[in-house]
Amino acid sequence: MFTKILIANRGEIACRVAATARRLGIKTVAVYSEADANALHVASCDEAILIGPAPAKESYLCGERIIAAARETGAQAIHPGYGFLSENAEFAEACVAAGLVFIGPPASAMRAMGSKSAAKTLMEQADVPLVPGYHGEQQDPDFLQAQADRIGYPVLLKASAGGGGKGMRVVDSAAQFKEALASCKREAISSFGNDQVLAEKYLQRPRHIEIQVFADTHGNCLYLFERDCSVQRRHQKVLEEAPAPNMPPERRAAMGEAAVAAARAVGYVGAGTVEFIANQDGSFYFMEMNTRLQVEHPVTEMITGTDLVEWQLRVAAGEPLPKTQEQLAIHGHAIEARIYAENPDKGFLPSIGTLRHLGTPASVMFELGGDAKAPAPVRIDAGVRAGDAISPFYDPMIAKLIVWGANRQQALARMAQALSQYQVVGLTTNVAFLKRLVQSTAFASADLDTGLIERNHDTLFTAAHAAPAAALALACAALMASEQAQAASEGRHRGDPWSSATGWRLNQPYLRALSFSDEFDYTVHLSYRADGWLFSMGHATGTEGSNSSSGSSDRDKDKNSADGDAPAAQLLHLSAHHGDDYAIRLGEQTVHGVVRRDDDVLHVFTGGAHYQLAYHDPMAHAGEAELDTGRLTAPMPGKVVAVLAAKGQQVKRGEALVIMEAMKMEHTIAAPHDGVIEEVLYAVGDQVADGAPLLAFRA
């Protein structure tokens, strides 16, 4: 076994590999970019080497710098994680040439499966069923359109060298083909350095099912069952689970044996995943093989009691597989949710910023190699901590939340509970969306396909609701506690009425109105008493741009909502206060919650929900924001990859004007209404800052 390895990656996978290495007594070397100098993966390893500036092309994708770091530190092997150089055959060969072990498959297997086109040709020769399509080398746009016309729409365009949902477009008609092809090729060349694409028939309501395979250098190859990864957005996975629901044993065996045959056909060694697309009738087709560990590998570990990273290390060191096919069995059910810094209500647009507060459910990072029948119920694989930043340079994943249950029903319940306990302040996340998704009828009943999110859009993307009285009461309690703490820190004494933080009055109680807002405006009335506060609610009204009539209808159904039906003049006690955790009594109800203040916004976590309430301090004087509706701005830092409008051009509402690339995805800036382009402020290739005006626009 190795005594020291270098981990050629960052984030949660680097932390994950380091954890297994530590358990096995193997020393680890981290590599990091200038942006990651204080990252968690650097702190998780025994040594760390700076390899370049923040952009991945100048750091994590520089194989020669990584190999130099391995030789400098005396590492015997390099673990590539996933992404970056994990499926780069040239890098694998360079490691071997430098006398280092590449902890992954041989370069020949990568090349065979690295090109989707070549892999499909290989599978076709091996009689593995394939989706109808064109997988050849001819890339002339007219020729490709002719192939798409022959296949029949809708057609899926995919980057031949791609993965992770990058370089994929669904084309619904011949009229859309050329534009979609150009966009697909731009994203492919940017992400993979190769703009070759293939075209396939886009199946209706397919499931995405993948098989975990493992092979050693002694001729052994097996499969560790399947994962269902059907729930996706932008062709990227959102939820994964193992085993796949409603999977008959005979189909499981057939898919597993097909996956092993595919691995053997290319002389595979190490961990790999063979991905299939399956119809609702159970028929399945080879899609691709990922020649690396997958992001969703923890669900396989949870149901099999295996540590797949340990298997990787042992196989790379020349040892045989730790188990045989007959020794593997499925125990229980596991689900993984990817916690992302992104805004589901804005097309899952990535969010950047600092994790000012991060609260998570009680968990064990991994519980592997022991009793597979009783793993830890909750596991979190993370690469960030509170105080860390989500930058525009890398994937915006915060963590992977994995739960295990004796059956799918228990796993679903544990996932919903764990998501209720996940708290993030500082940037927008998909936590609330994930909870709605897990609790949706479609997912709970295992009515799965890759279009589940789009099919259930109205259920998953709900209209704004007014905050309940309990959330507003907790916000008030936090403000009162803060004021009292400030008074104490300034040396004001409880017996001194003139400097009391509770607004002492001689003949009558001090009455106070507090104003908050989110999508609605709220007024809360407080009357100070010796033993607490009298608390009553004003009416919530819709703010500009919100649907106040819809909100009123929802509030009428909830007696605890923020309107006149809420309990008025109830005595509010702060019965416990530790840090930012509160327990209050509101009438006959005891309410628990966490309140975190971020500038003038109070983040209230209670009842499994997150409320962001802006506090309007009457003593503060906010300057008026300047509005410039004549300029279209960048949604985040990124690079301009296409300018589709010119100065003086008349455009229609919704017409694409500029295409940006940021956070590994393309974002289209469209005209907000009919108008004229007065000036184009950036050219193709320019880097732009968050909020930078891209065009001057006149209605």
Give the residue numbers annotated as catalytic, written as ranges: 292
Structure tokens at 125: 């020769």
Distance between CA atoms of 524 and 392, rounded to whole angstroms? 39
Structure tokens at 660: 């940006």
Q: Give the DSSP H/E element, type plus range, for residue 398.
A: strand 397-405
The DSSP letter of residue 561 is: B
- 8 Å CB contact between 398 and 385: no
Helix 89-97 crosses helix 63-73 at what angle (to 10 degrees)?
30
SS3 at position 240: strand
Closest by CA to 276, choosing from 325, 344, 228, is 228
Distance between CA atoms of 139 and 569, rounded to whole angstroms? 72
Q: Say if residue 331 is exposed, middle or buried (CB neighbours under 10 Å; 0-12, 13-18, 19+).
A: middle
Distance between CA atoms of 83 and 609, rounded to whole angstroms? 33
SS3 at position 529: strand
Distance between CA atoms of 483 and 386, rounded to whole angstroms? 25
Distance between CA atoms of 171 and 390, rounded to whole angstroms? 33
Alpha carbon separation from 465 to 349, 462, 549 (Å, rounded): 22, 9, 11
- 8 Å CB contact between 276 and 287: yes
Got the DSSP string for 90-149?
A: HHHHHHHHTT-EESS--HHHHHHHHSHHHHHHHHHHTT--B-SEE-SS---HHHHHHHHH
Distance between CA atoms of 473 and 469, rounded to whole angstroms? 6
Distance between CA atoms of 400 and 403, rounded to whole angstroms? 10
